[in-house]
Structure 1
């Protein structure tokens, strides 16, 4: 009898694949976490936006700017030397009436701001914290004048568009 050689074992059995189920579960978990985080962030953000009726009303109105031209130039003393300060100021409001009142009261605003700027100390306003404090004081000065004429502060922000000391 002839030896019959058996061919190498060829298997028609399917190749076992690794299951993709853990990958799908992981992707779904990440998407769920992102969705939950987005929902919580949006709901918190929306809660802050509707905190007050005036804040929501201000967001709907356009920002109006009023540059106070020309720039303020004042001199002040610093340890027996004469210093100069040039400040460009722009007012911002969402209320057109407040901008009109500020335009009409320009000489009064300028007088108050010149008095404020000329009474500064060089060592204080030469750093960022001092400039921010000066900016807050200038805003308070402007709001006081507008409040007296309009009955409400009206001016939302005051920006220094230039700030040069020498």
Structure 2
């Protein structure tokens, strides 16, 4: 009879020992986890770069480029700051042509004044009128209107460097379209942070 309480005491002491071991493991595990966290093993997941609110968006077929631009409009000061930030950290982004253009709405814009310049190798001059298209919202067209002076200057400088013969062939005209498109997108990227012009069209082309 006298040994039965001793057995119970032993059992109770064993349970206490198990509890102490579990507590030690939990505390030790928490300490180890804290050490790993401090070492950077469990650092919080970094967020990717935030989408620039000034970036034009694609316009689905049937949608309004103007309404989408209004819906995504940001205050003028914020837009200017975003453009300045983009210019300070690179040459801006050339927005790509969508893989399936038929799913999107193209917007066209005619530059009102023609471009007139002498040729580089003759006394002849070229006079061209151009229009542009974009699959992005109206902010691309608004940017072209805002920075038309810079666009006109660069296009005229490039046009004055072209020999007459190169502009008399279909291949030469297509190459000129590509150069003008590049100039416009480069200026938009510098001024706003984004390009967006998909194509350039000649609405008048005269060499005299």
TM-score range, shorter chain: 0.5 to 0.7
Aligned to 1:145: 187
Q: Tell whether the 8 Å contact from 1:93 to 1:157 is kept in structure 2 after alignment.
A: yes
Q: Tell whether the 8 Å contact from 2:97 to 2:198 is kept in structure 1 after alignment.
A: no
Aligned to 2:161: 119
Aligned to 1:6: none
Aligned length: 112
Partner Cα separation in structure 2 for residue 100 and residue 53 of structure 1:
19
Partner Cα separation in structure 2 for residue 122 and residue 112 of structure 1:
19
Aligned to 2:31: none
What TM-score results when the alignment is normalised by the length of structure 2?
A: 0.50
Q: Tell whether the 8 Å contact from 1:98 to 1:150 is kept in structure 2 after alignment.
A: no
Partner Cα separation in structure 2 for residue 146 and residue 104 of structure 1:
10
- Cα distance per residue 1:40-92 (max 9 Å; x no partner): xxxxxxxxxxxx99435x544422112111111111243xx410101011011
Aligned to 1:154: 196
| 1:80-159 paired onto structure 2 within 5 Å | 81-95=122-136, 96-159=138-201
What TM-score results when the alignment is normalised by the length of structure 1?
A: 0.61
Q: Does 1:74 align with 2:107?
A: no
Aligned to 1:39: none
Aligned to 1:65: 108
Secondary structure of 2:113 counterpart: strand
Cα RMSD after superposing both structures: 2.0
Deviation of the 1:111 alpha carbon: 0.5
The 1:53–1:67 alpha-carbon spacing in structure 2 relative to 1, beyond 3 Å, is closer
Secondary structure of 2:125 counterpart: strand
**Unmatched runs of 5 consecutive residues or more in structure 2:** 1-95
Partner Cα separation in structure 1 for residue 98 and residue 125 of structure 2:
40
